[in-house]
Amino acid sequence: MLARHLILHGKVQGVFYRDWTVETARSIGLSGWVRNLADGTVEAHLEGDEGKVARMIEAMHDGPPRARVDRIEQHDAAPQAFQSFERR
């Protein structure tokens, strides 16, 4: 089990980025959460096997059609054994 903490910068609020993230993460088979931050970024915590986490992060560089991701900060995180992926 691998866990990653992410901060996404760019046009990621007001473009359905969180809903897209929930749908995509669930379809890949990941657990964790996603939320908006007050500074206009999106924060996410992903948990799953290494290949699935990598696949999700790659997809997050594009996101939904109206989004523009300028960069993604990534940090290792401690797995917390979430049972699903949710929007916070």
What are the pLDDT digits (tens) for 14-66? Answer: 999 999 999 999 999 999 999 999 999 999 999 999 999 999 999 999 999 99
What is the pTM for the complete model shown? Answer: 0.96
Check: CB of residue 45 under 8 Å from CB of residue 79.
no
Which positions are annotated as active-site residues? 18, 36
Check: CB of residue 5 under 8 Å from CB of residue 79.
no
Q: How far apart are the first and last CA of the chain?
A: 22
Domains of the chain: 2-74 (3.30.70.100)
User: What φ, ψ does residue 21 adopt, rounded to 5°?
Assistant: -65, -45
> What is residue 49's predicted lDDT score, i.e. its pLDDT?
96
